[in-house]
Chains A and B, each alone.
Chain A
């Protein structure tokens, strides 16, 4: 209800602003225009902060939302992709490669969705096969060998559930990554940029720092599947989304993400450059801190981070 009011108010302000602007800017109207613009910006922020978890889920999946490659393009120089797991195949749903972050040699891993139908099919809708996880850990181990920091970009509905994926050990691939990432003696920073879909997301997410975009989600299961399993229908998706506590605010409160990164007005899809700029600022700060730690300290730091996750009683 309150949200409806905010929207109506916003429409009213925008209408007034348009009218005044039509009259042309002069000494008299300048202040009025400025005030109105400020009010509109504040209202937009308010509306965004009032989004329900399900609305945020839809924003996290927005088709114009910046994907891993959009950030890689903007944040790294001389990026070169590294393909294949050297065992079976190359999985286009996970991108791996090396490049430079403000002159620092780094390894980048990211789940990649497609922008149009052809791309989406090529990227398997961002759902990795076991080979994607195996490529990721292979390249991360190379980063460790040469002492280079690692950035990962998390954006997947989940690991692909298919016959071939099961035959080739989807579970083993993720399980192995969880254990091996815990051992790596280099800084790892994960950025949850869109959908953090369960084990498929975590498979590249055992990091020293987890940064999460304001409208990204991170969940054990999608609201749709949760509704199907627990309510046995598709009528309770919104309720499931609320129960699952999958928003950046929730994850920050439960001590899982280290920082919530703000997005451009209305969401990251409205301005890819600005979204990248906001993320860049946080990445730089965290990398600087982690670069002070030794390899053993980084492993210990990561252990402590995950060791305290969970809520229990009855000690």
Chain B
């Protein structure tokens, strides 16, 4: 069943970083097949040849999930005042400005409410292009507010992760967002409101070790890198090469860490089915 009206995605889905574009054409990074750019976009940025899932923008993720691409966004104005005056090779303040210019958003997450298959729902989508989708105070605050909104309105919550973890430039404040969000999720859990966690490439560190792993359903797109520690850190610690496919979705499924792997082209259909399951009263 096709939930999307394909024409909608003509201008919606782009992938600047991973797709080598040459005008009208684009090349799959995984299988090297060349396609019309338009064809890849219409296929929701999944390679028609090998099924490779390209990274996509948070805005496109929202459009893809909500009915008629209609939704209301929240807390877009929140930004980080750089509480630590953090400076590495570049000042964090400048980094934030550059990221805003590049992505059009003030931090690494978009939060929205709308309808999915007719059901009211909240969707949180992390933006990987924004400092690797990392979580600082703003991401933590925005997600917590969405959990609270979901609790207040008694509507399901869907979080689509794409993140390298907690953001270093806000130090321990970033770390504490993990506890803040999961404390809010504890309330959601006790209230019996559904939470679906969708893990996409990549989901690692403090994001995996907080909200991404405590969904009523934890599902992932194929081939996504998912883990606690990054592969390089593990390699350096144990001083041996990692097995093929280590920390990919299929590896996690095999080890019992995921409920399902869902192709992006079936993601909305899956979510609608899950919402129907959660929200249909068994006694009627």
Interface residues of A, Cβ cutoff 8 Å to B:
159-163, 165-172, 174-176, 178-180, 182-183, 196, 198-199, 202-203, 205-206, 218-221, 225-226, 229-231, 236, 239-240, 243-246, 250-251, 254, 256, 302-303, 306-307, 309-315
Segment 55-91 of B: residues with Cβ below 8 Å from A: 77-81, 83-84, 86-89
Contact status B180-A199, CB under 8 Å? no
Interface residues of B, Cβ cutoff 8 Å to A:
77-81, 83-84, 86-89, 106, 136-138, 140-141, 144, 166-180, 182-187, 189-190, 205-206, 208-214, 227-229, 233-234, 237-238, 242-243, 246-247, 255-257
Contact status B174-A220, CB under 8 Å? yes
Contact status B255-A198, CB under 8 Å? no
Kindly list the 9 A-B residue pairs having the minimum CB-CB distance in the complex, ordered from nearest. Answer: A161-B229, A310-B137, A178-B182, A171-B208, A230-B88, A311-B83, A175-B213, A182-B186, A182-B183
Residue of B with least CB distance to A158: B229
4 other contacts beyond A179-B182, A246-B172, with CB at 8 A cut-off?
A183-B189, A199-B175, A310-B140, A311-B81
CB neighbours (8 Å) of B256 from chain A are 169
* 14 residue pairs from A and B, CB less than 8 Å apart: A170-B227, A171-B213, A182-B183, A183-B189, A183-B190, A206-B182, A220-B167, A220-B170, A220-B174, A239-B88, A243-B86, A245-B172, A246-B172, A311-B81
Cα distance, A180 to B179, chains bound together (Å): 10
Cα distance, A245 to B211, chains bound together (Å): 25
Q: How far is the CB of A141 from chain B (nearest CB, A)?
A: 13
By DSSP majority rule, is chain B's interface helix, strand, loop, or mixed? helix
Given contacts A175-B210, A256-B172, contact A169 B257 (CB under 8 A): yes
Contact status B228-A179, CB under 8 Å? no
Contact status A199-B190, CB under 8 Å? no
Kindly identify which residue among A239, A243, A306, A314 contacts B84, using a CB–CB cutoff of 8 Å.
A243
Cα distance, A226 to B186, chains bound together (Å): 31
Cα distance, A180 to B186, chains bound together (Å): 7
Q: How far is the CB of B34 from chain A (nearest CB, A)?
A: 34
Cα distance, A254 to B106, chains bound together (Å): 23
Cα distance, A219 to B175, chains bound together (Å): 8
Counted as pairs of residues, one from A and one from B, with CB atoms less than 8 Å apart, the total is: 202
Contact status B176-A199, CB under 8 Å? no
CB neighbours (8 Å) of B234 from chain A are 161-163, 166
Cα distance, A230 to B134, chains bound together (Å): 14
Given contacts A198-B175, A310-B137, contact A315 B77 (CB under 8 A): yes
Contact status B209-A163, CB under 8 Å? no
Contact status A166-B213, CB under 8 Å? no
Q: How far is the CB of B52 from chain A (nearest CB, A)?
A: 23
Cα distance, A165 to B174, chains bound together (Å): 23
Cα distance, A308 to B179, chains bound together (Å): 11
CB neighbours (8 Å) of B166 from chain A are 198-199, 220-221
CB neighbours (8 Å) of B138 from chain A are 310, 312
Contact status B77-A314, CB under 8 Å? yes
Cα distance, A258 to B84, chains bound together (Å): 20
CB neighbours (8 Å) of B182 from chain A are 175, 178-179, 182, 206
CB neighbours (8 Å) of A218 from chain B are 172, 175
Kindly identify which residue among B79, B80, B172 contacts A251, using a CB–CB cutoff of 8 Å.
B172
CB neighbours (8 Å) of A176 from chain B are 213-214
CB neighbours (8 Å) of A239 from chain B are 88
Instruction: Name, among B169, B171, B237, the residue most crowded by chain A CB atoms within 10 Å (CB to CB).
Output: B171
CB neighbours (8 Å) of B144 from chain A are 307
CB neighbours (8 Å) of B141 from chain A are 310, 312
Kindly identify which residue among B86, B137, B229 contacts A312, using a CB–CB cutoff of 8 Å.
B137
Given contacts A199-B228, A302-B183, contact A168 B255 (CB under 8 A): yes
Q: How far is the CB of B171 from chain A (nearest CB, A)?
A: 5
CB neighbours (8 Å) of A199 from chain B are 166, 175, 178, 205-206, 209-210, 228
Contact status B229-A243, CB under 8 Å? no
Q: How far is the CB of B116 from chain A (nearest CB, A)?
A: 24
Residue of B with least CB distance to A232: B89
Cα distance, A169 to B228, chains bound together (Å): 8
CB neighbours (8 Å) of A229 from chain B are 168
Residue of B with least CB distance to A311: B83
